[in-house]
Amino acid sequence: MSTNSSAPLVGSYANSILYTLELLAIIRYYWVSKHKQDSLLFQAMIYFTFVVDTVSTVLIYAIVYLVCN
């Protein structure tokens, strides 16, 4: 592994930590809170944000795999 590939690797670790926190927040929102009282638009924004973050996390892992190998 070269010095050039360490920055994306560290960034992917940071992204993994933030994604895990987001996942825990979404689980808490849907299982613990009373999300049925929120508007449909607000719930759709949460789903959309989760899907976009999931796709971007997978793409970040793919980029790190391609750069580090």
Q: What is the pLDDT of residue 1?
A: 54
Q: Check residue 32 and report its DSSP letter.
A: T
- Write out the chain's pLDDT in tens, 69 residues: 555 778 888 999 999 999 999 999 999 988 888 778 889 999 899 999 999 999 999 999 999 999 887
Q: What is the pLDDT of residue 56?
A: 97
Whole domain around residue 45: which residue ranges? 3-68
Give the residue among 26, 51, 46, 23 at the shortest CA–CA distance from 59. 51
Q: How many domains are there within the chain?
A: 1
pTM of the model as a whole: 0.82
